[in-house]
Chains A and B, each alone.
Chain A
């Protein structure tokens, strides 16, 4: 499953917690089935889905085993486990072959994915383009610029690098203060990304650090999932109190499928709000607060998905998402808050990073973005600041300080690589080395090791097996699905990071006996 970035894990975790009934409802929407297929599956699982999609009869696990080489058995089992945990495929005792199981796609998923591919049906699942005339000033660049600004406002707030001044983007939608909307701020607090310190000042938490160093795409998902959870909680709360919940409570199935639908829309195109259900219409203002959609004040019956929304389910374009956001916000002048109203986003493509790292741990960052400077400050000691550049240094203290806050060495390195100056890339490509000098990368990792004396893995320990055979089978299964962390054959005990599928396996095994 190496093709997954760590970024998709959050969404994974959320989806895995959902009950089967929720999945069945979700898969009624072709756009959702398609989005899950595109984003959430490892390549081999995609192959299986494609094979099963138009197969009139279920295949047996024996058939599938023939498609992979023996050494690929683990990968294959993981792929199937994934399909099961997402309720895409189901296994049942085969009627035709002994000791084999039938595998087939779940009915809703199959139907919806077929519809998505064939384009049939009248489900409006991929959005209804607006037929009304559109404003010519709203084009892709405009949307990129707008979404980038909203998103950067949110990031500024998390970093808390700048005082909250009234600025353009806040005023545009009628809210008074600058920075993100109140609801967004509440959400960030609730999600533990920031916490309120003494005197009502907002401080970044360790989750916040992690959040900042993620890819833009992963950040969007983090925020959206927080939002979904908040909605869930509100609903539960309202139910307890027996209060009227219309308007505030939103069905999470409806929310998720709307997000997946947004991801399938076309950037720069206006869509019709009247084709949306009431729930979805209620979601629009919040999504506009996140910068996922743009609603023109004069034409409230139209909404435009922004790049943040349309790339939600992409895997390969993550880099270009952050690049485009960077490009969109590149024109940000040095002093935050005074974002020029008419600063047009004419970004040359190679301007998405400006960090130079030298072998002596010096950092020169060609940027005037307060956000980038604030992020650098998380793990570097800043030295000097010029109109278009800051100098900084990676030190043992600065890196360990960051690690104490929950940032990992790899996150720091990834960040430096992702934002490296084009010159660094060119030099590295010419010499065939890594973008960041290897000594620096190693040292950052060593600094982490120094302060991280223990590796922690939350999970479950299994012990007291009835027989050696039971232990062996279960341990083998845990290895195959990739959750086994530690085992001791002699003592007959092992430790897994995830328990759900092991439980199922145990149950199935018990029935089989």
Chain B
């Protein structure tokens, strides 16, 4: 009989995947990721998904900035 393992399949870009693996090994004690499946897929413990997501968001905030969109105000227009 084959084995069935409960978990959450995570699909992401390779870059994000390597960040996730890094987070798992440095911050989470290798406790979140069950298996590294392929370039874009990871198998993660169900109860750890939220933590992992939160840590990833933190990490991305450090590295990733978006330009502030132009804020055209409604007030100026033909009022």
Instruction: Tell me if A456 counts as interface (CB < 8 A to partner B).
Output: yes
Instruction: Tell me if B74 counts as interface (CB < 8 A to partner A).
Output: yes
> CA A471 – CA B1 in complex, angstroms?
10
Q: Which residues of B contact A118 (CB under 8 A)?
A: none
> CA A487 – CA B49 in complex, angstroms?
21
B69 close to A486 (CB less than 8 A): no
The answer to whether A488 and B11 touch (CB under 8 A), given A461-B43, A466-B1, is no
B4 close to A462 (CB less than 8 A): yes
Residues facing B in A445-462 (CB within 8 A) are 450, 453-462
Nearest-CB residue, chain A, relative to B44: A456
> CA A462 – CA B12 in complex, angstroms?
20
Q: Which residues of B contact A460 (CB under 8 A)?
A: 4-7
A453 close to B11 (CB less than 8 A): no
A461 close to B7 (CB less than 8 A): yes
Q: Which residues of A contact B9 (CB under 8 A)?
A: 456-459, 461, 485-486, 495
Q: Which residues of A contact B60 (CB under 8 A)?
A: 453
Instruction: Tell me if A380 counts as interface (CB < 8 A to partner B).
Output: no
Q: Which residues of B contact A466 (CB under 8 A)?
A: 1-2
> CA A383 – CA B71 in complex, angstroms?
13
> CA A103 – CA B41 in complex, angstroms?
39
Instruction: Tell me if B8 counts as interface (CB < 8 A to partner A).
Output: yes
Q: Which residues of A contact B35 (CB under 8 A)?
A: 461
Q: Which residues of B contact A430 (CB under 8 A)?
A: none
Instruction: Tell me if A377 counts as interface (CB < 8 A to partner B).
Output: no
Nearest-CB residue, chain A, relative to B74: A383
> CA A462 – CA B43 in complex, angstroms?
11
The answer to whether A488 and B37 touch (CB under 8 A), given A391-B74, A454-B16, is yes
Nearest-CB residue, chain B, relative to A457: B9
B12 close to A455 (CB less than 8 A): yes
Nearest-CB residue, chain A, relative to B10: A454
Residues facing A in B20-74 (CB within 8 A) are 20, 34-35, 37-38, 41, 43, 46, 49, 53, 56, 60, 66, 69, 74
Instruction: Tell me if A335 counts as interface (CB < 8 A to partner B).
Output: no
The answer to whether A499 and B4 touch (CB under 8 A), given A384-B74, A454-B16, A488-B38, is yes
A462 close to B2 (CB less than 8 A): yes
Contact of A396 among B37, B38, B69 (CB under 8 A): B69
> For this complex, into which size category does the number of interface residues on chain A fall?
35 or more
A396 close to B66 (CB less than 8 A): yes
Instruction: Tell me if A407 counts as interface (CB < 8 A to partner B).
Output: no
> CA A439 – CA B57 in complex, angstroms?
27
Instruction: Tell me if A463 counts as interface (CB < 8 A to partner B).
Output: yes
B11 close to A461 (CB less than 8 A): no
> CA A474 – CA B4 in complex, angstroms?
12
> CA A486 – CA B1 in complex, angstroms?
20
Instruction: Tell me if A506 counts as interface (CB < 8 A to partner B).
Output: yes
> CA A460 – CA B66 in complex, angstroms?
36
> CA A458 – CA B6 in complex, angstroms?
8
> CA A486 – CA B8 in complex, angstroms?
12
Nearest-CB residue, chain A, relative to B17: A454
A454 close to B2 (CB less than 8 A): no
> CA A470 – CA B2 in complex, angstroms?
9
The answer to whether A453 and B4 touch (CB under 8 A), given A384-B74, A486-B37, A495-B43, is no
- State the Cβ distance, A265 to closest chain B Cβ, in Å: 42
B2 close to A465 (CB less than 8 A): yes
Against B, the Cβ 8 Å flags (1 = close, 0 = not) of A331-368 are 00000000000000000000000000000001000000
B11 close to A486 (CB less than 8 A): yes
Q: Which residues of B contact A240 (CB under 8 A)?
A: none
- State the Cβ distance, B37 to closest chain A Cβ, in Å: 7
A455 close to B4 (CB less than 8 A): no
> CA A383 – CA B72 in complex, angstroms?
12
B46 close to A458 (CB less than 8 A): yes
- State the Cβ distance, A501 to closest chain B Cβ, in Å: 13
Against B, the Cβ 8 Å flags (1 = close, 0 = not) of A375-398 are 000000001100000010101100
Q: Which residues of A contact B34 (CB under 8 A)?
A: 461
- State the Cβ distance, B47 to closest chain A Cβ, in Å: 11
List 25 interface pairs A-B (beta carbons < 8 Å), by A numbering.
Answer: A362-B74, A383-B74, A391-B74, A393-B74, A395-B69, A396-B66, A453-B13, A454-B10, A454-B53, A455-B10, A456-B9, A458-B7, A460-B5, A460-B6, A461-B4, A461-B5, A461-B34, A461-B35, A462-B5, A471-B2, A486-B11, A488-B37, A495-B43, A499-B4, A503-B4
Chain B residues near A (Cβ < 8 Å)? 1-13, 16, 20, 34-35, 37-38, 41, 43, 46, 49, 53, 56, 60, 66, 69, 74
In order of increasing CB-CB distance, the 10 nearest A-B pairs are A455-B11, A454-B12, A457-B9, A465-B2, A460-B4, A461-B5, A464-B3, A495-B9, A453-B16, A454-B10
